[in-house]
Structures are given as structure tokens and as C-alpha cells.
Structure 1
């Protein structure tokens, strides 16, 4: 099950990682270096304060293979792609709340930027494969009939699914039903990747990330994503944990180490050619469950129920059968272990809880 031979193809290869300075991108590039590849990172580096990239994500801005730039800069993207054997297109405005607030910015980055990358890859005679990074947000809240089409459910069970008692399992063959601007842009990116690269015969794979978490993830103002980081940071400061919508939403929380590994396997595995693959654990975890796991490390932390933000899906969990069959692999980090790892990291790096959040605690 854990045959690593597919990754041997990356030894000596040059790989462009768009968004390569972010949490996921920096993990992917570190893994590439460990495999003997040369990663080139292209990232705007404007999603976080600069110290986050250097102190937490380990990005060296003086490295000539770390390029500060924009994926919408078509000449730059084409120049970089021409130097590479593989492309991982992970750059995006990935904050669901930010995309909802600024849909034109989401369209500009996630659609126009993706088109610039696709144009460059389509014009290359060197690229062996591109991986387009998509998201479980394309499933939205799913459909009870489709999500459980492979199971024999009673009418009572179907009603329980409708009312949110049984979370849907998302299969790659399910119809895309995004409920957010972000999800819409990712659905478009999937279709456009298949259209553009399929026409010119360049290999591609699409990976749908489920909820990514893990050290050294840090929170941003006005965001409701990254629940493990939010809850741990707030609990460390004695702040209450906000359960949006009562915490009944379900997520398939997947550690960033596993996300990086699954992405690289999709980049090289022969069976991943033109495939769409979930990258998740196959385990449903509610937001309230995450709160309980965090509170186990910070006893007495209060919880408050708050309204569900616009565009925040009720969610579900990944069907992982195709992932295991195509990639010959499955994630290793269980959610309880991942939360414990994050809390331990935060305790050793208390400054990772940002000043504006700490100020909230003192004002409270």
C-alpha cells in the first residue's frame, strides 16, 4: 500500500509549484527537495504578513528558485513553465470568506490566473504532467441520492441525511454542486484544465483537497476557515470557541503532510493520468468534535454557538477508494494526533497566535 516507487520519477526533475510559499506549497516544495527534485516556487506572498512565510513556512526569499510574482503575469508564467518538467498549480484565493466578500478578486485570481497557467502549460513541449489543485468545496452540501448511491438506505436513513444527521460521502463521480464563489471557481478550473490540456494531449490530474490543517497553519482576520488553527489559537489565549451554526458542519480534516504526499503521488502515478482524485481521510469529523479535541488540551475553554457564515457548506467526507487504488496510498495522520501536534507546535511558538487576536483576549 505504501509503495513509494512512483515518486522516484521526481528525482532530478524541475517542478513549478504555484502558490509555493504558502502552507501547502511550502510543504510540497520541502518534500520535493527531499526527493532530489528542484522546486521552483511562484507566489505573490501577500496572503500573510511576511514573517509568516519566513518564520513559520520556512521560505527563503533570497533563494533564486523562490519567485515573488503573480500567476496572472502570463510572460513570467510562460518563462517558468518552460524550465520545468512538472507543474503543481496550487495558487488561489483560497479563503472561502474572502472569495464571498470579493467575488471579482476570486475570479481574477482563480479563473484568469488559472487560464494563464494553462496557456503556458499547453504551449510547453516539456511538461510531463500538471496537477490542478481543486477542493471538496465543489461538492457543496452534496445530494443525498448521489452521495449514498452506492449504499442501500432505508427511507428513514435518507431523511436523516437530508436533516444532517448522516453526513454525505463525496465520490469523484458525483455532480459538482458548489455553494460558494470559491467552490464555483474551482469547479471552473477543473473543467478548464480538462478542456485545455486534453485538447493538446498534455497529461493532467485533478486533486480535490478536503479540509487542510496542521502546523504551522496560522489564522487571518475575517476568516472562518482553518478550524483547528482557529480553535487552538483562541483556546491558548483563553478565548471562547465559536461554533458557527452550532458546530454541526462536517469536515474531512486532512493533515498538510498527507496533502503534500497525495499531491506528489498524483503528479507521478501512471494511473492518475486525466483522473480526478479526492485527497482526504475518509473520516467525518464535526466542527464540535474538533472543539472537543482542542478543549482536551485546554480544559475549561468555553464554547459559544454563532450564526453560520454565508457560503460555509455543511460538508461531508471523502470517498477514498479511488485515491487508494490510483495512488496506492492513504493518509497517515489521524485527527486526534494532528490536533495534538498542532497544539504542541503552538505551545512552542506562542507568537503564532497573532497580535490582533491576543489583543482581543486582553480587551475581553
Structure 2
């Protein structure tokens, strides 16, 4: 039974295109749309993970609404967009390390691919709104001197005593965009290009800046330093040490993928989010070291090892969530402690999520 009182009830009976719809976040959005009585259509290359990982995500490559293709395919995207009421553009080369290693690929997928989607939306009058998935990485390391209120200055002083440095809180309307990685730079460009392209024709759009997304069934990739909950849990499960890059003093605002999916869909339909940019986070800072300690609560024998900071890895900060709460009428539900516990429990029940190459690391010790 569908809750007709929910603002998401208006999605019932609609068709929603989700680019990147087979990834962790995209597949969760697709699943939520089905629960709401909408018809989700997903575009994805299905080449980022082995087939068994997509099965963990609940992705069926034979589903006629699962379009295996590339967002840079102009004809394919135009056909797909033409039949949809809404578009969520979540497809991207989203790994910071991968973008740093291959900047031209990052530009091609994250910028050229976005333009293909925007052009398709401009060419049809059916689409009611596009949500562009951006990232908190656009804020970079923030401005340590920025403090807009006595309350914020007090909070910063408290956090500085805990983390040993100023920890910025990022505001959509006042914090400057200062990307420090190729990935963040493509996202910053994408925000501006979305506004320029759709704003020129009066099309509705919303930009959502995700903070650090985690949660089951997230799985790790080799040569990556993203997705720390999944990385730490997988290594701990195999008795491997947890590497704390830069000592683990980077701060993240961890938000569970279930909450991300809910927030994204609310941004898709809320009248108040037209042409808005919204942080999607919890408003609570958590250091990388604190995440490692939460993992150690479940794997008491795990050891920590310090490692150098990788290129493009921001010191980070946390979200101001006042605007999110105001325009979405909603706040995240899952705490970091509960989310980490859920992930560990899922991993123990799902050993197939541990990649074979990580076992090889274990056997080579």
C-alpha cells in the first residue's frame, strides 16, 4: 500500500530515468522508485563491477527497463529521456583516485556525458525536473577563517580541540567552491553547466551535493581510497590492518545510502527545490580514525597502520543541513554507529562481497 500523504506519492505512475542506475546509489534509488509505484528506467554500462556484485545490488541485466549503454551515446540518451517525466543524473566516474589517474576519462564521462543528458532534456518538454548528483568534494578543504555566527565559531573551537585543526562546516549559499581533485573539479563544472543549460530554457533542475555515502551493499574496488566503511570492514574481516591515510584525521560527514536515496527523491519533487543546490549529509563530523574505531568494535583484533595522504584527498568537513531540512521537510534517519553495524552484519552474511583480489593480498602476507 502506498502512503498518499508522503510528498513522494506524486511519483506514483511516473517514469523516472536514472543514469548510473545500476550503481550503489542508483540501484537504491531505482528500488525506492518501484516501492513508490513509479517506473524507473536505468542507464548504465554495467562494467564497473563483476556480474555477481550487480546481483548484490539487485540489478537484473535482462530487465527491459535496464538499458545497458553509455551516457555519451547521444541517440540512446535522447530516446531514453524522451519517454520520462523526471531525470536523475547519477552516472559518473565517481572514484577520486580513478579520476586522478585518468583525468581525460573523468572529463569525458563526467562532463561530456552530462552535456549529452542536458541536451536531451532541453529537447523534450515532458521532463518536469532533472536532479544533478554532485558532491561535497566541490568544497575542498574549506576556508578556515570562515565563521558566520557566534554559534558556528563556538562549534569550530570545540571541533578543533577534538581533531587538532579547524573543521569547516559547508553551507550551500556561503561556502566557496574550491575543488582539490579532478573528480571535484568535474562536479563543480557540472553544477554550473546544469544551471546554464537548463536555466537558459526555464527547465527545472536541482543540484544535490552528496557527502560521504556508505552502506550495504557497497563493495570496494582496487587502487581506491574511497568508501572507507566498506574498505575498513572488508580488510578487518580478513584480518588485514586498516591504513589510516594521513593519520586518519580527515573529517567526513557519513550519510547512509538509504537516506541518500530518500533525500534525492524528495529533491526531485519538492516545489521548494527548483533551481536550488542542497547539501545531502547528516551535519555530524566523523574522522576517518573514528570510523576505523567503530569497525574495531566489531573486529577487536584489527590493527591500525598510518600511511601517506593520497593525491586529491581533502581534509574535509561536514554539512550544514538547515537548508536540506527546510526545503525537503526531512532529516536523515540512520546514525553512523547503526550504519556501520548494519554494514558489518551484512558483510558477515554476504561473503561474496569480499573480492578475490583482496584474498590474494591476505595470502601474500
- Bin the TM-score by the shorter chain: over 0.9
1:234-273 equivalences under 5 Å are 234-273=235-274
What residue number does 1:138 align with? 138
Whether the 8 Å CA contact 1:144–1:158 is kept in 2: the answer is: no
SS of residue matched to 2:200? helix
Distance in 2 (alpha carbons) for counterparts of 1:299 and 1:22 = 31
Question: How does the TM-score come out when normalised to structure 2?
Answer: 0.95
SS of residue matched to 1:67? strand
Distance in 2 (alpha carbons) for counterparts of 1:49 and 1:175 = 38
Distance in 2 (alpha carbons) for counterparts of 1:43 and 1:75 = 15
What residue number does 2:82 align with? 82
SS of residue matched to 2:298? coil
What residue number does 2:107 align with? 107
What residue number does 2:42 align with? 41
Whether the 8 Å CA contact 1:3–1:329 is kept in 2: the answer is: no
Whether the 8 Å CA contact 2:144–2:167 is kept in 1: the answer is: no
User: Displacement, 1:50?
Assistant: 1.7
Unaligned runs of 5+ in 2: none
1:8-47 equivalences under 5 Å are 8-47=9-48
Whether the 8 Å CA contact 1:89–1:132 is kept in 2: the answer is: yes
User: Measured at CA, do residues 338 and 228 of structure 1 come closer, stay the same or move farther in structure 2, by a change above 3 Å?
Assistant: same
What residue number does 1:200 align with? 201
Distance in 2 (alpha carbons) for counterparts of 1:319 and 1:233 = 31
SS of residue matched to 1:234? helix
Distance in 2 (alpha carbons) for counterparts of 1:294 and 1:256 = 18
What residue number does 1:290 align with? 291
SS of residue matched to 1:200? coil
RMSD: 1.7
What residue number does 1:360 align with? 361
What residue number does 2:64 align with? 64
What residue number does 2:334 align with? 333
Number of aligned positions between the proteins? 359
User: Displacement, 1:151?
Assistant: 3.6
What residue number does 1:345 align with? 346
Output one character per residue of 1:243-265: Cα deviation in whole Å (capped at 9) or x when no partner: 00000000000000000000000
User: Measured at CA, do residues 4 and 363 of structure 1 come closer, stay the same or move farther in structure 2, by a change above 3 Å?
Assistant: farther
1:203-218 equivalences under 5 Å are 203-218=204-219
What residue number does 2:231 align with? 230
Distance in 2 (alpha carbons) for counterparts of 1:159 and 1:299 = 27
SS of residue matched to 1:134? strand
Distance in 2 (alpha carbons) for counterparts of 1:85 and 1:120 = 13
Output one character per residue of 1:37-72: Cα deviation in whole Å (capped at 9) or x when no partner: 000000011111122112x10101110000000000
Question: How does the TM-score come out when normalised to structure 1?
Answer: 0.96
User: Displacement, 1:158?
Assistant: 11
User: Measured at CA, do residues 4 and 144 of structure 1 come closer, stay the same or move farther in structure 2, by a change above 3 Å?
Assistant: farther
User: Measured at CA, do residues 195 and 213 of structure 1 come closer, stay the same or move farther in structure 2, by a change above 3 Å?
Assistant: same
Whether the 8 Å CA contact 2:253–2:283 is kept in 1: the answer is: yes
SS of residue matched to 1:145? coil
Whether the 8 Å CA contact 1:138–1:178 is kept in 2: the answer is: yes
What residue number does 1:120 align with? 120
User: Measured at CA, do residues 252 and 169 of structure 1 come closer, stay the same or move farther in structure 2, by a change above 3 Å?
Assistant: same
Distance in 1 (alpha carbons) for counterparts of 2:5 and 2:250 = 35
User: Measured at CA, do residues 129 and 68 of structure 1 come closer, stay the same or move farther in structure 2, by a change above 3 Å?
Assistant: same
